[in-house]
Chains A and B, each alone.
Chain A
Amino acid sequence: KAGVTQTPRYLIKTRGQQVTLSCSPISGHRSVSWYQQTPGQGLQFLFEYFSETQRNKGNFPGRFSGRQFSNSRSEMNVSTLELGDSALYLCASSWSISGGKRNEQFFGPGTRLTVL
């Protein structure tokens, strides 16, 4: 069974631009969560989507948004990029909501975003 895939793997943008990242979950998984990893803040939860609805949200500004499609694929959008948005963005999929609590959350390899 294919794992969680994320595209693109690497991305370079400049301040003020916007970016869209994509995540394809494991087949059959309906929940997709997004995380931001930076050296200073570690791994931080952004939001979780389940059945095309945002079910939970971390403490990030409104510039960070996402959506989920009927096939469970998810996209994350960051508008008006700032230098501090440079990070590794990880998505994780699971069968059910709140996958982070149980051991059923599977992570993708991440998208490395660099903002210049």
Chain B
Amino acid sequence: DQQVKQNSPSLSVQEGRISILNCDYTNSMFDYFLWYKKYPAEGPTFLISISSIKDKNEDGRFTVFLNKSAKHLSLHIVPSQPGDSAVYFCAAFIGGAGSYQLTFGKGTKLSVIP
């Protein structure tokens, strides 16, 4: 049973436009969410995160929105740039230092077209 789902395997966006990447989760106990970006032949790099007590977190061109009632989060990139072309993973966290669960989605490949 996939607890974190990224239903769009790929997304193409024109440079300068907004990119919206979506992520749904099933476990209401998740209390922290993260987005990672991954380029080919490199490991994922942290992008932005949000605690379940918030509904929005912004960092430059990147904004993450959390809708707890819908168990849905989204990553907005405005404006999109060709260098943003990568695979984006959302991840959900539950637990503490002694025992925790970190679950990733399968990723969405974003292509920003110049």
Contact = CB atoms under 8 A, between A and B. Distances in A.
A95 interface: no
B105 A92 contact: no
Secondary structure call for the B interface: strand
Interface in A73-95: 90, 92
Interface string A32-50: 0001000001111100000
Given A98-B96, A98-B97, A103-B49, A45 B102 contact: yes
B75 to A, nearest CB: 14
Contact of A103 (B34, B97, B100): B34
Interface stretch (B14-22, B39-47, B64-72, B78-86): B39-47
Query: On chain B, which size bracket covers the interface?
Result: 20 to 34
Interface of A: 4, 35, 41-45, 55-56, 58, 90, 92, 97-98, 100-110
Interface of B: 32, 34, 36, 41-46, 49, 89, 91, 93, 95-107
When A and B form their complex, which 7 residue pairs have the shortest distance between CB atoms, in order from nearest? A107-B43, A42-B106, A43-B104, A100-B102, A103-B46, A101-B93, A97-B97
